[in-house]
Amino acid sequence: PRLKPWIEHVRFAVSKNPGAILIAHSLGCILVAHLAREFPDLPIAGALLVAPADVDRIGKTYPDLAGFAPIPIRKLPFPSIVVASRNDIYCDFDRARSLASAWGSELIDAGEAGHINIESGHGRWSDGFKLADRLVDLHYQQLAKQTMQQNSPNIETLYSV
């Protein structure tokens, strides 16, 4: 995969679907971090980032991934959840915790779940659907809060009546 064309593809898709919830796995998590760095104003409602790949470390073993390094280390401009495993061969748990902290993401400890994919014994992942639903709920809560703030009367106006 090549970073720039992939970013452009996702940027276009998000611009056509404002308020999108991104669900990414492995290298896709790193793509989301690059996307947020390059286009912080994209209308993304949230991101579920599952088993991020530590391309800073594994890029040496997998040269095709080197173009994704270094991983952006800055707060994402939307709510996010990182799900990490304690025995993921592509990203150790401490590194995933560090990425989640840097991105301002909630961290979910998946225990010893491998790379959280079919090869590690996962099929349809009902917990993932629940986490995505949680991001949708959070997005609507934030929208409601913004609407209330925009529609609340100004205290000075009330007292000047």
pTM of the model: 0.87
CATH number assigned to the domain covering 3-159: 3.40.50.1820
Q: What's the burial of 142, exposed, middle or buried (CB within 10 Å: 0-12/13-18/19+)?
A: middle
Give the separation between CA 117 and CA 120, rounded to whole angstroms. Answer: 5
How does pLDDT run across 110-139, given as a tens digit for each residue?
Answer: 999 989 877 777 777 888 899 999 999 888
Could you tell me what percent of the chain has a pLDDT over 90? 68
